[in-house]
Amino acid sequence: MGADAVEVEASRRTPEENAVALQTDLVKGLTSHQAAENLARDGPNELEKPPKPTLLMLFILQLTGFVIVLLMIAAVASLVVNGTGPNRGDILSYTTGKAIFVIVVINAGIAAWTEHKAGDALDALSKMTQATIYVVRDGHEVKVEVPSIVKGDIVVLGTGDVVPADVRLIEAEDLKVSEMALTGEPDDVSKTWKMKPPKEGGEEKLTPENCAFSGCNVTNGKGKGIVFATGMNTCIGKIAQLIAGDSSQKPKNKCGCLPDTSANATPLQKNLDKLGSKICMMAIAVCVLIFVIGVIMNRSDPSNPDSPAWLYMILIAVTLAVAAIPEGIPLCVTISLSLGCKDMVKKNVLVRKLAAVETLGSASVICSDKTGTLTEGKMTMVNMFAGGVSYTVGGKGFDPTVGRIQRSAGGAEGGNDIGVRSCLLAGLLCSNTTLEQVQDSETGETKYEPKGNSSEAPIVVAARKAGFVESSANEYKRVLEVPFSSSRKMMLTICDISGRSVLCSNGMPLSGQDNFIAICKGAPNFILEHCSEYLSEDGSTEPMSGLKRSEILKIVDDYSSQALRVLAIATRTMEELPFDLQDEEVSTDERFHRCRSNMRLLGLVASIDPDRDGVPESVISAKGAGIRVVMITGDYLKTAVAIAHNVNILSKDDDDSVSAVDCGRLRPNDEYLKNTAMDALTAHTKVFARARPEDKLEIVKSLQRQGFVTAMTGDGVNDAPALNQADIGVAMGIQGTEVAKGASDMVLTDDNFCSIVAAVEKGRAIYAGIQKFVAFIMSVHIAEVIQIAVCIIAGMPVMRTPLQILFLILVTDLPPSIALGMEPGESTILQDNPRPKKEPVVLAWMWASMVMNGIVLSCVIIAVYIVALVLECDGSVLQEDVQQVEDYENRLMAARTVAFISLVWAENVRSYTSRSFDKPVWRNVLGNKEMQKAIVLAQLCLYAAVLIPYFSEKILGLNGRDIGVRGWFIALAGPFACLVLCEMCKVITAAQMRRYQAYLATQQAALTKGHDDVVNEKMAEPAARQDRFQPAFSERSETIEL
């Protein structure tokens, strides 16, 4: 049966009929056994994915790379030249060509295996961020991963969830769903569980009103639904099948049949590929140049002087090509990025997009939520104002057995006062959070833990302290709930109080004729706007005068200046509801507006959310790294300022009136400022209070227009556009909705701001490590080219064969390069300025460092080689003279061996000097454990290459057994000279780095200061104009954290 038919059939059946058809229970759901059977029968609830490239396919793809192709051409050229030469009958004459092929295959195999394992590692990380949803199984609500959803499951939906499968709704309370992904319609769609007959003359709905579909976001309300289609059988699955059948949407192929994986490459990998291609083109030009020079100078093969010079120079060109091509860079980058992602997991950061690792090093602004990120998210009530009396609430955390409610004046017991009991019960009736006793998995201790909204937890805990029990709320039947939304700024519930003369024992008196009570809980300024009276100390009511409203707002100010978060609670009693509950034509917003007028203020509750440990220090570290930390919160301005000072976002030197703004200034008269004025306002602001979710998007756009690289945190469904717009979207792993996680680049598993700073530090370290090994590898290749070119131009015997060069680069140089990519990062890395986002991988001062080090290495090794030639070849240095020496082939082999050993030792020493561009080598010399392993491996390979009989002299053309003690001592001169000269080069590099950092600091300051003139010229008039639009009490406003 097609997806459309299943959808229509499910929508036309009652919930009970669907339950029978799907063999489930509307109350208890499926049993675990049924769910397992259905999963085995229908498969996982996920769309079909294009097959991953196999290990063999990745291996073949490696062979199509430009660098590898050039190497294979060099190998073919070597085989052809030797196959047409005088030694074509000697199998060993083909060693170089065959060895190049072997090493190319080994390199491609290692690269393919590494990419394959990196893909597996990223898949494992993605499973750690697997979307989850609550379902009813075995009569209990349990959280399961979305792929394990099966037909017949009862799914529990709430605001911020992504519908996991196609469901027929069985409950719906003010439920709205965004079906843009399915239908393209931008407006949210209201949903109901009922079957409505189509209206005559009305437009046909694009989707049934009583169904919700996989992949759609729940934007409001809550509900339950029974799953009738999963995976590819859903509506979104059918669309996926249509796309798969469209030839224009089929995966791109490379070389006709191989999959094109270039879309998965990060910007860094693409930049390095371009760099490698440019170097290859330069290498070709150098090879051609040296070939021409060699032919003109008639450089012939020393082993076959009668052969033409052009034939020998082809082999030399092959040698140069091998020396110049940086074949190890792509492999090192892949390893470094994949290992970096794994390391970030240990820092509570899950990277969803590999490019985020690179972008982290460029972050110049971090925009952070407050609750749960900068603070612990564990709200504790410490003060309340009820019945005209101020109270203090003792205790800490969620344990209701610790602490009492006392009058602030005198300390008398206040938990039984009319105002306290009425206010806390009303707050409890307007909450969905429960308090449960759970066992700590680590300590085994029993503790209290709230389940639900963190802002409601303090009310529930305080109500228990006032004597209310868990079942108290169940005594008042809830007939309507209007959930909190960012537009309403409050939550409303209506409960049945028929037959009651008092709200509760020792509570607010009731008329006895009222049947319903409407309770509002939310931002004080919004609540007070609709209050016409207030509850006094003795339980009577008094009219809400302007003077009284000002007094209450002054109390809100006082609480907020102490970094307390304030909520107001108000009620309205009614004989009958101002609407028909059964009339679905009356919208939720209309019901809300009809109930919230003429309310009675019961009181205020003030809670504190303690700063997270380490956050103030992390903020200071971020500032030292040139990163501006911005707090965006829904709290009242004074609360936000107080907290910002506590966590060091605002310092003593900051002018709070400039650095902290109410977001109302961004949108006077509900219209956002023009770009110029908006940029001028955001250029210096560190705290945005009373923020709406859409404000985040405008703030990010403004900062990006000014050139800042922005990281933005978010957890709600409305945060998704800002997360997607930001250069680095950071979702919360605990409080975050699935919509927010899906729009993010990385997820904080602990919702902790400290983890963002740690991720920035790690991202910088990874990028710096990549720069270090790129500089190291490139300097090695530069040195190889210089050494061979000098030998050809000067007429000396060529120092090294192509096979020896490949052995050096892939066996003795590659392990230290990989170790450099795993460099832990310098202790001062957070003292550097952010890297410009479009900055090239290799900077000008790095090129200078590479060239200097390449020249140093070349000069040192050439000098060692000349000394070795003089000692081994009876004073001869030039090729023509060396050929006249008796047994010159073995003597030349000895000289080459000395130079080879010296070069390996020198490059191993340079591995340590390359750990820092400007710091001396002896600083934390053993700080990288991987480097010690790499050097040991390189040394073992060296001694195998020069000491193992037959392999050393017949294959590699080396013989360390015959150079004697003198040869080993001569070789020692190379690393010592290289160490001294490379360290001296660091003096020049350090000066260049300081100039570059000063340049970056100037650029960063220019970004911040660039709008100062605009502030003075453009903001005066809008600022004056917006003041006229602000409500009289807008400066004393409080909203719930978004």
What is the residue-wise DSSP string for 715-764? -SGGGHHHHHHSSEEEEESSS--HHHHHH-SEEETT--HHHHHHHHHHHH
**Token reading at 756:** 């963002």
- Residue matched to tokens 């898949």: 123
Q: Which of 582, 583, 579 is nearest to 594 (CA)?
A: 579
**Token reading at 582:** 């059964």
Backbone Cα Rg of the chain: 36
672 vs 667: CA distance, rounded Å: 4
Q: Is 123 exposed, middle or buried (0-12, 13-18, 19+ CB in 10 A)?
A: exposed
**Token reading at 563:** 């970094």
315 vs 313: CA distance, rounded Å: 5
138 vs 154: CA distance, rounded Å: 11
- Cβ–Cβ under 8 Å, residues 345 and 689: no
- Inter-CA distances, 55 with 1, 368, 474, 1026, Å: 38, 41, 60, 62
- Residue matched to tokens 């240095």: 877
60 vs 443: CA distance, rounded Å: 52
**The dihedral of CA 943, 948, 952, 955: what is its sign?**
negative
| Residue 960 CB-half CA count within 13 A | 19
**The dihedral of CA 74, 78, 79, 81: what is its sign?**
positive
659 vs 674: CA distance, rounded Å: 20
The β-bridge relationship of strands 710-714 and 490-496 is unpaired
Please enumerate in sequence order all residues whose Cβ is within 8 A of that of 555, keeping only pairs 6 or more positions apart, or say none.
Answer: 385, 390, 604
- Cβ–Cβ under 8 Å, residues 876 and 882: yes
SS3 of residue 673 by DSSP: coil
Rounded (to 5) percent helix, strand, coil in the chain: 50, 15, 35
113: phi then psi, degrees, rounded to nearest 5: -65, -40
853 vs 1040: CA distance, rounded Å: 59
- Cβ–Cβ under 8 Å, residues 465 and 458: no
Please enumerate in sequence order all residues whose Cβ is within 8 A of that of 670, keeping only pairs 6 or more positions apart, or say none.
Answer: none
Count how many residues are written for the chain. 1042
1039: phi then psi, degrees, rounded to nearest 5: -130, 160
Among candidate residues 273, 369, 611, 727, the one labeled active-site is: 369
1025 vs 567: CA distance, rounded Å: 30
**Token reading at 663:** 């977001």
The β-bridge relationship of strands 217-229 and 166-178 is antiparallel
Active site residue 4: no
Q: With the CA atoms of 706, 726, 273 and 774 taken in that order, what torsion angle do they form, in degrees rounded to the nearest 10?
A: 80
- Cβ–Cβ under 8 Å, residues 644 and 686: yes
29 vs 137: CA distance, rounded Å: 5
| Residues designated as active site | 369
